[in-house]
Amino acid sequence: MINVAFNGIVVVRGPMMADASFGRAQWGMIVAAHSAGLIAGSFLAMKWHPRRDLFIGALLAGFYALPLFMLSQNASAAWLIMGFFIAGVTLGLFGVIWAHSLQTYIPPDKLARVYAYDAMGSFIAIPFGQLVAGRLASQYGMSHVLLMAALAVVIVTAGVSLVPAIRQPKKWGLRRTTHNG
């Protein structure tokens, strides 16, 4: 859902929204703030090791609704820089937590297959979002599409965080595996 909403819709429509409001130079700063957040989140992940990694990862992914909501409300470039930075930090943290979780809970002989399915599911969503972004925006208005995308991200990540095996993996039979390497 995040890839449809963010990479599909924002990346396609973002420059057009910038042209209509604060300009492409500010859009460049917003995108740069997102990248800086990704780097900062990845560095934070080296020091932070949450006990309930899958649950925390699901909650962190929900922060991607923030820049979508802010864009839907025509926030200023300064607010968008902050929102995109926060989303970048949380995605950087999520990415490390997710990769660590896969390596922790997936047996070594199945890990490559799980990574492949994960990547396919994640990346197939991007062109889908890009295909529907323009059509949805012209039919319903960009603000409404962004607001619905933000709401969808919140609903999906909240739903994932409610799965018992995500909240308490050990209780539901998810066991840590040993990877030699």
Locate the domains of the chain by residue range.
2-167
The CATH number for 2-167, chosen from 1.10.3720.10, 1.20.1250.20, 3.60.15.10, 3.40.50.300, is: 1.20.1250.20
pLDDT band at 4 (very low <50, low <70, confident <90, very high): confident
Q: What is the pLDDT, as a whole number, of residue 172?
A: 53
The answer to whether 77 and 40 are in contact (CB under 8 A) is no
Give the model confidence (pLDDT) of 30-63 as tens digits. Answer: 999 999 999 999 999 988 888 788 888 889 999 9
Give the model confidence (pLDDT) of 72-124 as tens digits. Answer: 999 999 999 999 999 999 999 999 988 888 888 788 899 999 989 988 988 88
Q: What is the pLDDT, as a whole number, of residue 181?
A: 47
The answer to whether 68 and 166 are in contact (CB under 8 A) is no
With CA atoms as reference, report the closest residue to 97 among 44, 61, 42, 53: 53
Terminal alpha carbon distance of the chain: 33
Give the model confidence (pLDDT) of 118-160 as tens digits. Answer: 889 888 888 888 888 888 889 999 899 999 999 999 999 999 9
Q: What is the pLDDT, as a whole number, of residue 73?
A: 93
Q: The tokens of 111 are what?
A: 């890990």
How many whole angstroms separate alpha carbon 64 and alpha carbon 2?
7
Q: What is the pLDDT, as a whole number, of residue 175?
A: 61
Q: What is the pLDDT, as a whole number, of residue 173?
A: 58
